Amino acid sequence: MTTPYDVPAKDLIDELSKKLQKEKEIFLPEENRYARTSVTNENPPIEKDWWYTRCASILRKVYINNQIGVERLASEYGGKRDRGSKPYRAMGGSGTIARRALQQLEKAGLITKIKGKGRSITPKGRSFLDNTASEVMQKIETQYPGLKKY
C-alpha cells in the first residue's frame, strides 16, 4: 500500500489540491482573499488556487504529525522577518489561515478536533490521502518505468 511517505511531497500536494477544488466545503474565504500569509511576506499570494494548495499541505502535515495544533501549523508556514538594520528573526505564519483551513477540512470530514491536543486525521481523510498517494505513484511509475524494481 502506498502512503504519503512514499511519494514526493510536491506531487502529492498538487494532486490533493486538484481534488480539494472539487469539494464544496473547501473554498477561499472572502476575508482571506487579499490577506498576507505571514508577517514575513509583503504581498498576498499571486496564485489563484493558493488556498487549495495550503489546505492540501495542511492535510498532509496533519497526516504525518498525527496530531498538530493551529499554533504549530502557523509556525510551520512562517519565515525570516526583515527587521531593517537589526538581525533577521523567525516569525510565524498566519494563524487565521491555518485555523480556517482546518475548520474547512473538518467540515469536509477529513480531520477531527481532539480537545486540548489539536487536530487529527479521520479514517476518511487517511484513505483519501492513501488513495491519492497511490495515484501519484502510478503516474510516477508510468513516467519512469525503471522505478518499479524498487
Q: Residue 46: is its pLDDT beyond 90?
A: no
Residue 26 pLDDT level (bands cut at 50, 70, 90): very high
Render pLDDT for 92-135 as a digit per residue (tens, 0 to 9): 888 889 999 999 999 999 999 999 889 999 999 999 999 999 99
What pTM was computed for the model?
A: 0.90
Q: What are the structural domains, with CATH classification, of the chain?
A: 9-149 (1.10.10.10)
Distance from chain centroid for Cα 84: 31
> Could you give the strand order of the β-sheet that contains 111-114, starting from the edge strand earlier in sequence?
67-68, 118-121, 111-114
Q: What is the pLDDT of residue 15?
A: 95
